[in-house]
Homo-oligomer: A and B are copies of this chain.
């Protein structure tokens, strides 16, 4: 059996997923949709897929699954259409910037029993997955304190920021999902956040912050702390640490190489991989492999639409907390 994919959206992330599909045995990319000729043609050329409209792709019974990589404001509509068309769905995060819209969308997904996976790729990073495996194995005992450090090499264009939903919905949403991934089944009940404009005043002028932290509290008292910056001169800084009753587990950064220069000024190591396409290259492949496996074997879908919703709710709560300077209660 070969799983046939349709790709909706052939931008940077769409191209990444298309490339990953080519490398997964038992899959093929059959069709690609993108309004921009150059983007669609590039995929056609590299994969042999045909170019098609969203409607054609959804109507094609030979296509088993869609990869939704369009702009965020199209995600929810396309998920609903794909669900009704009986496709398995892989959708980039976030499902929508509005939690209400996400809830409505997930109702449709539930009603159609469609398989929906949200692209929280970091869960599939070999390092973070290995950290989680340590936790699952009981190596640190009971989880108590999660620390997540996430810094981009540099800020995106202000135009992007304006339609991104802001740092908490655009950037920290990954860390909210990571916090839930590391905290296990203990749901978060309180969110406190603060943010500042320290990197670029233009970000502040656009109504956003560029440096932020959030503290999450679970029902049983576990605590997670997230810090974000839109700029790190030394590369893409992505670290997690989980402290528990029997020990602590951490996943360190990935450097460009393992070379050290020693001289009279000291010891010098390489900067970090520059950004997510490099750091998470393997994770993008692994998450699609996991999706393909879920389709073919019926194995667990992860992360689910509910995971997408939960992360969004935490992001919303963080924004409110930053504004009100109080802890915001989150419904479980």
Contacts and interface: CB of A to CB of B under 8 A. Distances in A.
Nearest to A248: B262
Interface string A113-154: 000000000000011001100100001101011010101000
Given A221-B197, A221-B211, A259 B248 contact: no
Contacts of A243: 151, 229, 232
A327 interface: yes
Contact of A268 (B144, B190, B245, B266): B266
B131 A259 contact: yes
Given A192-B215, A198-B222, A257-B251, A246 B271 contact: no
A26 interface: no
A162 interface: no
Contacts of A197: 221
Contact of A127 (B245, B248, B257, B262): B257
B194 A192 contact: yes
Given A144-B229, A233-B263, A265-B268, A258 B223 contact: no
Contacts of A325: 190, 192, 326-327
A260 interface: yes
Most buried by B among A126, A131, A262, A325: A262
A269 to B, nearest CB: 4
Most buried by B among A190, A233, A261, A270: A261
Nearest to A261: B249
Given A192-B192, A233-B246, A252 B258 contact: yes
Given A211-B144, A251-B257, A221 B234 contact: no
A134 B259 contact: yes
A7 to B, nearest CB: 20
Interface string A26-65: 0000000000000000000000000000000000000000
A108 B223 CA distance: 42
Interface in A257-293: 257-271
A263 B251 contact: no
Interface string A173-199: 000000000000000001010101111
Contact of A249 (B249, B254, B260): B260
A250 interface: yes
A227 B225 contact: yes
Contacts of A259: 127, 130-131, 134, 249-252
B250 A221 contact: no
A255 interface: yes
A289 B207 CA distance: 47
B145 A227 contact: yes
Nearest to A263: B247
- Pick the 8 closest A-B CB pairs, nearest first: A247-B263, A196-B221, A234-B262, A325-B327, A252-B258, A267-B269, A130-B257, A233-B264
Given A127-B257, A225-B225, 14 more contacts: A130-B256, A134-B261, A190-B194, A192-B192, A194-B223, A196-B222, A211-B223, A212-B223, A233-B245, A234-B262, A247-B261, A249-B259, A250-B259, A251-B260
